[in-house]
Structure 1
Amino acid sequence: MTNPPNIAEQLCLLRENYAQQLPAKLAQLEGAFRRHDNVVELPQLRHLAHSLAGSGATFGYPALSIAARQLETIVDGALNDGRPLSLEESDSIARLIEALDRGARTPIAPSSVPALPPSTVPEAERKLIYLVEDDASLATDLMLQLGHFGYTVKIFETPKQLLETPVDPLLAVVLMDIVFPQGDLAGPEAIIQLSIAKQLRTPVIFFSFRNDLTARLAAARAGGAAYLVKPIDVGTLIGRLDDLISDLPPEPYRVLIVDDNGPLATHHAFTLQSAGISTDIVTDPMTILAHLDDFKPDLVLMDMYMPKCTGSELAAVIRQLDNYVLVPIVYLSTESDTDRRLIAMQLGADDFLTKPIMPEHLISAVSTRLRRYRVLRSHIEQDSLTGLLNHAATKDRLTTETARATRQQRVFCLAALDLDNFKNVNDTYGHLIGDSVLKNLAELLKRRLRRTDIVGRIGGEEFVVILPDTNAKQAFGLLNELREAFSLVHQRASRGLTFTTTFSCGIAQYQLGASANDVHLHADEALYRAKQAGRNQVTLADDDERQDSY
């Protein structure tokens, strides 16, 4: 589901539609009650009461929810005993139907949905760096190295030049030397001046040949976010930059809402979207498998009682799927019976929220679960050295992307990368330096690829990139550009030595009907051909080469 242009207007429209449909819903419930002597009608009566109990207060009719909940409880008791309604129960329901009619005539003002704070993220990603360094050769080298990772660097030879220059709104970080001809602590002193004048609101990374406490204290007092000792390892610097630049938007949380009450599900969707959470809605629980594959939710929010199957049954099915064993399942229902809640939780759910629910409470409860799940998933899926997806997670994402492309008849490409002569790097410089090379390649891929691209390390010096909605020609151009950029990155060895290294790459475009293993095999074959042809090059799979000339 795409986010609406104005959520407040959409919620107001939903409220108006609910009010218009309410008389028909009440008439339907009253009709089911008139036929209550037919036991077959009781489940329908309970379902109608359940729907009103969960939705009434949400759309401004709290009295309606209270009466409907009481009615649902009475009918539920008869159903559990396998008997028709007693005379006393019928009289109670008749009075509750009158209360429903009264409650439908007295709406209250809706609860406001918490608005998102104004975004501080500029439309273009902030990748501008101010580098203040009087060593021209070092400054030029750093500018070129950072450029390979997608940053733009503006060089200042002295702190005075920085003080006299208006701060660009796209500035991400200041890299400031400590020592200048103007003073042994001229760098930190200039940053303090800028801070006092409130002209600098971006992080500052200090660097210097000095590694003494006096220099480090000066950097800390100036509010330095990090301190690096020369010679600067570009991989370490890129890692610090990634940690500090917080205005790169995180991947939005994804919540799948399963509820046969369409208007109520839409209301909850808009509420979550107001907090920046992406949503998808399932009103027919029998279609949930396709939604799981296409949407890949971080959390499932669903009703307990729906036609065709219950929420508990659906939770048990979801837990049968390997990819969703850990995904939080949260019930949102009018159910208040403790025993039933416990049974439902035992079948695979993680939490239970009671309808109706205030918008801010829904956002808070769901957000807490989402954050915990993302942290847990990152620990399970991440490669410990590079922070990329590990082998198992990469394989799973490839399977998912292949299934999506098959259903939607979309295209994607798989790129298999392998560092050239990596054994020589380990033998010559040691495994610690080899690990640094792997991390530098990982950082380059993370910085230069799209957020929708999937990057994993599948073992040793082998990496995989999944490029959704990308054909072979586009993938070839992108990976060849990355190959050239990486070949220019200065890898820093011990004793101040630097060296460069390269990678080879094979690319396969998904062909309709192919399996995930087929795509991976074709990419590996193309990679092997790139190695055989002399390394440091990108090669397309045979089928992709015949499609067009590149």
Structure 2
Amino acid sequence: MFASSSKVVLAEDNESIAKLLLLILEDHNFETKWVFLGNKVITACLEKIPDLIILDPILPDKDGFELLKEVKNHIILREIPIVLILNEDKQKGRFLHFSPLDILVKPVNLNELSLKIKNWVGVLENQKTLKKKAMTDALTGLLNDLALEKELTIACYYAEKFGKNFSTLMIDIDYFTKYNNIYGHRFGDSLLQTLAVFWKGALRPTDAIFRYKGPSFVAILQDTPLEQGINAAERLRRITYERSLPHQQGLNNVVTISIGVTAFKKGDTPGIILHRAASYLTKAKKSGRNVVKSGI
């Protein structure tokens, strides 16, 4: 398993070169998983999605060109930067259209490699910063709808391929328009921020919550079948109600939420899951609000 530092999958069948790279990468605080067969690359990457793939395209069991196409066409792995290790400088032209982050040519020069790795670190950190900014809701600090689409895509892939079930909660603040009309948008924004922090703290570290649209939020609960998802939703609904945040035109004059819950079933896509969760949220609203409705 990978630690919390930057993660690398290294695919290299030459043991001496691989051990050299592993040693230097560890010195630069990379956590590296080494494989020496092309057929192991995709599996290794999916165990824990890496920040970087270092790949010798000339592996004993698989054509490197086909392997690169598989990685670049993979719905989960296609955006991961790739560094290539080539036997000869003249091979570069064949692989340039894969847009590698960098290319190493054997024999690897240690001083040059150290400089290159420092550059990779800078590029990867910059990419992480830009991605985090692009996928963060500015008001609440939660992940946004772009991040939701990506995470649901990943969750659906793992559920379809490996049977890793998950539940999806669509949460909406009841009578939020009335709240804004009574207290003003500044207090409405403050309520969204307060609830975002509260809900995030109430969920497990393995769960993720996203600002979806306006006063609507979505939570993805990993390794959670429908019944457990319903229990989690009921807990969020109950503790939100029990906080007794004032709302003059809310149920019992406090802020409440309604939640639609669904779980993954074979063939689901992110769009299908969100549509189904939204349909159960609508049922919750029509049932009087401050309730949870669910189904698959």
- TM bucket (normalised to shorter chain) is 0.7 to 0.9
Deviations 1:148-174 (A, max 9, x none): xxxxxxxxxxxxxxxxxxxxxxxxxxx
Answer whether contact 1:259 1:303 (CA < 8 A) is retained.
yes
Query: Equivalents in 1 of 2:155, 2:31: separation in Å?
Result: 19
Q: Which has the larger radius of gyration?
A: 1
Aligned to 1:485: 239
> 1:467 Cα shift?
1.0
Aligned to 1:387: 141
Query: Equivalents in 2 of 1:273, 1:477: separation in Å?
Result: 43
Query: Equivalents in 2 of 1:345, 1:283: separation in Å?
Result: 23
Would the alpha carbon gap of residues 486 and 410 (structure 1) be closer, same or farther in structure 2, given more than 3 Å must change?
same
Which one of the candidate residues 225, 230, 235 is aligned to 1:476?
230
Aligned to 2:193: 439
Aligned to 1:327: 80
> 1:313 Cα shift?
6.7
Query: Equivalents in 2 of 1:530, 1:479: separation in Å?
Result: 12
Would the alpha carbon gap of residues 486 and 360 (structure 1) be closer, same or farther in structure 2, given more than 3 Å must change?
farther
User: Is 1:299 the equivalent of 2:66?
Assistant: no
1:245-284 alignment to 2 at 5 Å? 252-261=5-14, 265=18, 268=21, 277-284=30-37
Structure 2 length-normalised TM: 0.77
Aligned to 1:466: 220
Answer whether contact 2:36 2:59 (CA < 8 A) is retained.
no
1:18-29 alignment to 2 at 5 Å? none
Would the alpha carbon gap of residues 508 and 322 (structure 1) be closer, same or farther in structure 2, given more than 3 Å must change?
closer
State the one-letter code of the partner of 2:53.
Answer: V
Identify unmatched segments of 5+ residues in structure 2.
Answer: 248-252
Q: Secondary structure at the match of 1:405?
A: helix
Query: Equivalents in 1 of 2:220, 2:243: separation in Å?
Result: 23
State the one-letter code of the partner of 2:139.
Answer: L
Query: Equivalents in 2 of 1:270, 1:465: separation in Å?
Result: 40
Would the alpha carbon gap of residues 344 and 514 (structure 1) be closer, same or farther in structure 2, given more than 3 Å must change?
closer
> 1:404 Cα shift?
0.5
Q: Secondary structure at the match of 1:296?
A: coil
Aligned to 2:98: 347
Identify unmatched segments of 5+ residues in structure 1.
Answer: 4-250, 494-498, 544-550
Query: Equivalents in 2 of 1:508, 1:489: separation in Å?
Result: 26
Aligned to 1:504: 258
Query: Equivalents in 2 of 1:430, 1:443: separation in Å?
Result: 21
> 1:400 Cα shift?
1.3
Deviations 1:421-449 (A, max 9, x none): 11111222222222222222222233332
Aligned to 1:285: 38
Q: How many residues align?
A: 287
Percent of paired sites with the same residue: 28
Deviations 1:214-236 (A, max 9, x none): xxxxxxxxxxxxxxxxxxxxxxx
Tell which deviates more after alignment, 521-530 or 273-282: 273-282
Aligned to 1:166: none
Which one of the candidate residues 501, 523, 527 is aligned to 2:277?
523
Structure 1 length-normalised TM: 0.45
State the one-letter code of the partner of 1:507.
Answer: V
Would the alpha carbon gap of residues 313 and 373 (structure 1) be closer, same or farther in structure 2, given more than 3 Å must change?
farther
Higher strand fraction: Structure 1 or Structure 2? 2
> 1:394 Cα shift?
0.7
State the one-letter code of the partner of 2:223.
Answer: D
State the one-letter code of the partner of 2:135.
Answer: E
Would the alpha carbon gap of residues 405 and 278 (structure 1) be closer, same or farther in structure 2, given more than 3 Å must change?
farther
Deviations 1:60-107 (A, max 9, x none): xxxxxxxxxxxxxxxxxxxxxxxxxxxxxxxxxxxxxxxxxxxxxxxx
State the one-letter code of the partner of 2:101.
Answer: D
Query: Equivalents in 2 of 1:270, 1:522: separation in Å?
Result: 49
Query: Equivalents in 1 of 2:197, 2:100: separation in Å?
Result: 37
Query: Equivalents in 2 of 1:442, 1:272: separation in Å?
Result: 38
Would the alpha carbon gap of residues 281 and 463 (structure 1) be closer, same or farther in structure 2, given more than 3 Å must change?
farther
Query: Equivalents in 1 of 2:103, 2:38: separation in Å?
Result: 19
Answer whether contact 1:328 1:369 (CA < 8 A) is retained.
no
Aligned to 1:242: none
Answer whether contact 2:284 2:290 (CA < 8 A) is retained.
yes
Would the alpha carbon gap of residues 433 and 323 (structure 1) be closer, same or farther in structure 2, given more than 3 Å must change?
farther
Deviations 1:335-354 (A, max 9, x none): 5x4x7557755531123456
Query: Equivalents in 2 of 1:264, 1:470: separation in Å?
Result: 42
Would the alpha carbon gap of residues 367 and 397 (structure 1) be closer, same or farther in structure 2, given more than 3 Å must change?
same
